Structure 1
Amino acid sequence: MDNNVFTIASAITTRMADSLTDTNGSLVMFGGEDFTLRINSPGGDAMAGLRMHAYLSRYPGKIRVEMGAMVAGVASLVAMVGSEIVLHPNSILHLVMPRQSVVDGTAEELLRVADQLDLMSDRIANIYAARTGKDQDEILALMLDETFLDASQALEMGFCTEISSELAPVEGAR
C-alpha cells in the first residue's frame, strides 16, 4: 500500500472534489487496490467534503487514513472513510458546524441558506455518529462547541482506530 498514496494537504475545495470524483479522477490510478489517504487540512467547503466522503465510501479497496498535524472541519469528515484511521500523537482533530462565509440576499434566501446548513450539519453528524457509535445529538453538540480533540481523545471517542508516531509527514497536495 506504500505506493498507493493520495494526499490532501490544503483546504477541501469544489475543484478538489471534482478532480477526485471525475470518472478519470485521481483514484482511477489505484484500480480499486488498497491505498493510503494522508490528510493535513484546515477544512474547507462542506458540500465538497460531503461529495468526497460519499465517493470514497464506495471505493472498492480499503482506505488507510493517516492524519497530519491538523485535520479540521470537513477534512475530518473525509477522514472518516478509513477502514483504519491513524493519528500522530501530536495530531489535532477539529469538529465544527458547516458555515456559509459569504451570504447576500433577502430574508427568505437567508432562511433557505440556514436550512441548507442545518441539513449539512445533520448529515455530517450522522457520519461521525456512525463512525464513533455516539448519539447524533452528542456529536452535534461537539460540532457546535467547535471541539478540538487530541489524538488520545479522538481514539477514546472512536474518531480514530490507532495512534502512531511512525507516520510519514503529510507534504504537498496531489
Structure 2
Amino acid sequence: MKRDLPKVEVGARPGVRSDISLTALNRWSPDLRAEANDDASISILDPIGADIWGDGVTAKRIAGALRSIGDRPVTVNINSPGGDVFEGLAIYNLLREHSAEVTVKVLGLAASAASVIAMAGDQVRIGRAAFLMIHNSWVLAMGDRNALREVADWLEPFDTALADVYHARTGIDAAKLSTMMDQETWINGQGAVDQGFADDLLAADQITVDGDAEAAKALRAEKQFDILAARAGLPRSAARDLLREVKGGMPGATPTHMPEAVDIVAEINGLRASLKT
C-alpha cells in the first residue's frame, strides 16, 4: 500500500556544497550487496550525488531506472554513507511519486542523505547489523561571516523539512527529531524498527558480502580514498598514482597500513598543490 509521504521542495545555493560526514564515511562498508536483484530493483550503493569524476548516485540516474521499471513495484537496496542532501531529497521525491509500491532494504548503512531516501519506501526493511544516521544538513560553504550567517538561515528550512519526513514515517515529535538531528544520531536495525524508521528486519540471507575480510577491508579503504581524492579535486589518474604510493608502489597490492582519513586528506592536498605549481 502506498504511504502518504510529504513532498520536499529542493533548491541548491551557489557557493554551497553538500558533503559526506567523515564519521559516516569511516563506518561505511561498501562490500555489502543484496543477495538477489531483478530488473525491478535499484541499487544505491555509493555516495549520493555526482563527484568530479561522474561517480555517485544521482536523481537523473534514479529517474532513468524508474522509467525503465515502469508502473511496477520497485525494490531499492541501500548501502550508502550519504552525500549531497539536495540530490538525496530529489531522489526521495522521485521514489515517493512512483505509482507502484516501493520497498526499501537498508543493507548496511543509510546515513544522512541516504536515510532520507530510505524514508520514501512504502515498506522499509533493515539489516539487524545495519544503521541509519540522521543529522542536520551538512555542507561546505565559502564566504565572510555575513555570507555564512545567510547560509545558516537558508539551511534551517531544509532541516525542518528533513524532520517532517522522519516524523511522517515514525510519528516521533518533530522537536525530538530536531534534537536527534542536532546530535547526529545513529540508529541500529532493531532500534530503527522500534522507533518506526523501519517496518521490520531483513533476513540475514538477503545480504551478501563481496570477497573475504581482507578484500573487504581493502575495498573499503580504496573507496574512502577515491571519495576523498574527488573531494580534493584530483584527476583520477593522479589519485590512482597516489594510491599506489600509499600501497607501497605495487599496483593492486593490499596496504599493510591505511592512513586515517585526515592523513589521506593531507596527502591529497599536498599532491594537489604540487600539481598546480
What is the letter of the counterpart of residue 105 of structure 1?
G
1:114-149: CA deviation from partner (whole Å, max 9, x where unpaired): 112211111111000010011111111111111111
Partner of 1:84 in structure 2?
Answer: 123
TM-score normalized by the length of structure 1: 0.89
Partner of 1:54 in structure 2?
Answer: 93
SS of equivalent to 1:149:
strand
Partner of 2:70 in structure 1?
Answer: 31
Whether 1:162 and 2:200 are equivalent positions in the alignment is: yes
Whether 1:138 and 2:182 are equivalent positions in the alignment is: no
Q: CA RMSD in A?
A: 1.7
Whether 1:9 and 2:45 are equivalent positions in the alignment is: yes
Which protein has the larger Cα radius of gyration, Structure 1 or Structure 2?
2
What is the letter of the counterpart of residue 6 of structure 1?
I
Partner of 1:74 in structure 2?
Answer: 113
SS of equivalent to 2:60:
helix
What is the letter of the counterpart of residue 19 of structure 1?
R
The verdict on how the C-alpha distance between 1:27 and 1:169 changes in structure 2, with shifts beyond 3 A counting, is: farther
Please report how far the alpha carbon of residue 18 of structure 1 lies from its aligned counterpart in structure 2 after TM superposition. 2.6
CA distance in 1, matches of 2:125, 2:208: 13
TM-score normalized by the length of structure 2: 0.57
Count of residues in Structure 1 that have an aligned counterpart in Structure 2: 167
- Structure 1 gap segments, 5+ residues each: none
Please report how far the alpha carbon of residue 2 of structure 1 lies from its aligned counterpart in structure 2 after TM superposition. 4.3
Higher relative contact order (CA 8 A, sep 6+): 1
Please report how far the alpha carbon of residue 170 of structure 1 lies from its aligned counterpart in structure 2 after TM superposition. 8.1
The verdict on how the C-alpha distance between 1:13 and 1:170 changes in structure 2, with shifts beyond 3 A counting, is: farther
Q: Is the 8 A contact 2:39 2:69 kept in 1?
A: no
The verdict on how the C-alpha distance between 1:169 and 1:27 changes in structure 2, with shifts beyond 3 A counting, is: farther
Identity %: 28
Please report how far the alpha carbon of residue 96 of structure 1 lies from its aligned counterpart in structure 2 after TM superposition. 1.2
SS of equivalent to 1:38:
strand
1:40 to 60, 79, 83: 79
CA distance in 1, matches of 2:80, 2:177: 21
Please report how far the alpha carbon of residue 57 of structure 1 lies from its aligned counterpart in structure 2 after TM superposition. 0.7
